[in-house]
Structure 1
Amino acid sequence: MATHPPTSADFRWTDYDGVLFDLDGVITPTAEIHEHAWGELFAAYDYTEADYLAYIDGKPRYDGVRSFLASRDITLPDGDPDDQPGEDTVCALGNRKNALFNEILERDGIAPFPSSQATLDLLAEADVPSAIVSSSKNAVPVLTAAGLDGRFDVVIDGVVAADLDLDGKPAPDGYLLGAQRLGIDPARTVVVEDAVSGVAAGANGSFAVTIGVDRGAGHAALLEHGATFVVDDLSELLPGHPVTSGNS
């Protein structure tokens, strides 16, 4: 393994003992579905894509609601996770967003990024274990919809985080648990993220490498928050760059 932080030019997946992937925006283009659902949820508040990146991206759902509302100087009671979808509490808004997300996912479906699929194939061939670490409580349905159920050795999602009372990103708790459940040392583990809160989680967990994938957050912002290096697509890290970037 390299004794200095790698660059994208000299990075090799097989130099490490395991890889922890965020899901939305890294493995699948579900960020687009999330953005659409958030946009519908907050349409009355002059919501923009910039709001998604600044206040919501990478955070647990209710934290995203609180963060966005705070940006508009709005305070609502938290309510309860069992609240019906609505607008009167943070949880009701979060549950409404979740309902919108699932409606869009069921209607439109999802497929993994081609380069992410190729990366998973490379890791499987090299016997390098991998995990999903996602703030979303929809990670398992998304993996199933994308044909990736059973593809990861470990899945740490919003359901697991809630059950164990883990702090959300930028806290490293989910990633540290992912490494623990894979049985690998964070110092020999790669984190792959597209959100500023996610690369911060990787940096805060002292992982060997935190790769930023720029799906709109920007290279500078990802580097500033803790990415070791940033790529536009994981195809840049495949031998010979054989896969065209973009959605399948």
Structure 2
Amino acid sequence: MTPVGLPAGTRACLFDLDGVLTRTATVHAAAWKDLFDGYLSERARATGEPFVPFDPVEDYDRYVDGRPRADGTREFLASRGVHLDENEVRELGDRKNALVLRRLRHDGVDAYEGSVRYVHAVRAAGLRTAVVSASTNCRAVLAAAGIAELFDARIDGVVTTRRGLAGKPAPDTYLEAARELGVPAGEAAVFEDALAGVRAGRAGAFGYVVGVDRVGQAADLRAAGADVVVTDLADLLPS
């Protein structure tokens, strides 16, 4: 293993943003809950069906975490037997983004201290770095957290749309990041807290997939394909 806890021959590290580098996963989960609970309660009143609220842990992890907004909206609503046209899906996604931006303006953005230490160690070891996120706010979040300069490439929701890439759990965005860095997938490590993201890392045949367990789902991360699961990236560094 290398001094940063990765297999020998690893040349690049590809990091998810929310929940891996920054403490914004809870912001996203809360925004999704606000959105879906409002929508589902209105639907229940109109149809007479029972109102079952969005679970910010189980539903978030299973259906929306790590996915592009439209995909997450579609996946969750389909799990409740609701199928909307693309205009309605886009409208709900835009409302969710507005809720996130409002929360970020109010609460700010914090980076995980252990993650920042780890990225510095990775760069000191000569490895290249990239952020891979479904968020269209990735650039702003990195800047607000003061860590934008730590990454050689950024594949986010804006880039994904522009280049027509499939979102996680497809491996496309991680493969694109590896191409940007000029490194084969087998020589890159993926760092993910989302089940969809871990599956993307495994589907892309990356050299190593690190699951980051922030919410007590270590077993699920391993089942999804993580080679190792840590609660903090600094756990990979020598003690």
* Same-fold call, TM cutoff 0.5: yes
CA apart distance, 1:67: 0.9
Show the counterpart of 2:80.
72
Q: CA RMSD in A?
A: 1.8
Aligned counterparts of 2:197 and 2:67: Cα–Cα separation in 1: 8
CA apart distance, 1:136: 1.0
Show the counterpart of 2:30.
36
Give yes or no for the alignment of 1:208 onto 2:215. no
Bigger share in helix: 2
8 Å CA contact 2:11, 2:127 repeated in 1:
yes
Aligned counterparts of 1:26 and 1:177: Cα–Cα separation in 2: 19
Query: AA paired with 2:55?
Result: T
Query: AA paired with 2:158?
Result: V
Aligned counterparts of 2:211 and 2:25: Cα–Cα separation in 1: 15
CA apart distance, 1:28: 0.4
Matches within 5 A, 1:1-248: 11-12=5-6, 15-44=9-38, 45=40, 46-49=53-56, 50-79=58-87, 89-216=88-215, 218-240=217-239
8 Å CA contact 1:196, 1:217 repeated in 2:
no
1:116-156 Cα distance to aligned partner (Å, 9 max, x none):
01011112222211000111111111101101122210000
1:43-83 Cα distance to aligned partner (Å, 9 max, x none):
2331112211111111111001001111211111111xxxx
8 Å CA contact 1:187, 1:207 repeated in 2:
yes
The number of residue pairs the alignment matches comes to: 225
**Structure 2: stretches of 5+ with no match in the other structure:** 41-52
Change (3 A) 1:195 1:123: same
Task: Give SS of 1:42's match.
Answer: helix
Quick one: percent identity of the two aligned structures? 44
Task: Give SS of 2:74's match.
Answer: helix
CA apart distance, 1:197: 0.5
Aligned counterparts of 2:14 and 2:101: Cα–Cα separation in 1: 25
Task: Give SS of 1:212's match.
Answer: strand
1:72-115 Cα distance to aligned partner (Å, 9 max, x none):
11111111xxxxxxxxx000000000011011111110111010
Aligned counterparts of 1:130 and 1:190: Cα–Cα separation in 2: 10
8 Å CA contact 2:120, 2:150 repeated in 1:
no
CA apart distance, 1:239: 1.5
**What TM-score do the two structures reach when normalised by structure 2?**
0.90
Task: Give SS of 1:200's match.
Answer: helix
Query: AA paired with 1:182?
Result: L
1:178-221 Cα distance to aligned partner (Å, 9 max, x none):
00100111111110000111011000110110000112261121
**What TM-score do the two structures reach when normalised by structure 1?**
0.86
Which deviates the most, 66-75 or 96-105?
66-75
